[in-house]
Amino acid sequence: MRAASRQNEIHIEQLNKSYAQQTSAGDLHYIIQDVNLAVKGGEFFVLLGPSGCGKSTLLSLIAGFVSKTSGQVRVGEKEVDRPGQDRAVVFQQADSSLFPWLTVRENVEFGLRMKRIPAAKRKDISNQFISLVGLAGHESKYPRELSGGMKQRVQLARVLSNDPAILLMDEPFGALDAMTRRTMQRELVRIWQDTDKTVIFVTHDIQEALLLGGRIGIMSAGPSSKITDIYEVPLAYPRDLTDPAFHALYNQIQSHFDE
Ligand X SMILES: Nc1ncnc2c1ncn2[C@@H]1O[C@H](COP(=O)(O)OP(=O)(O)O)[C@@H](O)[C@H]1O
Contacting residues toward Mg ion, per CB under 5 A:
56
Quick one: the chain helix, strand, coil %, rounded to 5?
35, 20, 45
HSE (side-chain half, CA atoms, 13 Å) at 33: 12
Minimum distance between the CB of residue 52 and ligand X, rounded to whole angstroms? 5
When asked if residue 104 is in the footprint of ligand X (CB under 6 A), the reply is no
Element (H, E) at 208: helix 206-212
Q: Which of ligand X, Mg ion, none has residue 134 at its interface (CB below 5 to 8 Å by kind)?
A: none
Instruction: Give the whole-angstrom CA distance, residue 66 versus residue 98.
Output: 21
Element (H, E) at 184: helix 178-194
When asked if residue 239 is in the footprint of ligand X (CB under 6 A), the reply is no
Instruction: Give the whole-angstrom CA distance, residue 242 versus residue 23.
Output: 52
Tell how many helices (H) and how many strands (E) occur in the chain: 7, 10
Task: Between 92 and 152, name the residue whose CB sits nearer to ligand X.
Answer: 92
Q: Which of Mg ion, ligand X, none has residue 52 at its interface (CB below 5 to 8 Å by kind)?
A: ligand X
For Mg ion, which residue has the nearest CB? Answer: 56
Minimum distance between the CB of residue 116 and ligand X, rounded to whole angstroms? 35
Interactions with ligand X, residue window 35-74 (CB under 6 A): 49, 51-57
When asked if residue 222 is in the footprint of ligand X (CB under 6 A), the reply is yes
Task: Between 55 and 153, name the residue whose CB sits nearer to ligand X.
Answer: 55
Instruction: Tell which residue, 163, 190, 197, 218, has the closest CA to residue 48.
Output: 218
Instruction: Give the whole-angstrom CA distance, residue 220 versus residue 113.
Output: 42
Q: Which of Mg ion, ligand X, none has residue 211 at its interface (CB below 5 to 8 Å by kind)?
A: none
When asked if residue 31 is in the footprint of ligand X (CB under 6 A), the reply is yes
Task: Between 20 and 241, name the residue whose CB sits nearer to ligand X.
Answer: 20
Name the site residues for ligand X (rule: CB under 6 A). 19, 31, 49, 51-57, 222
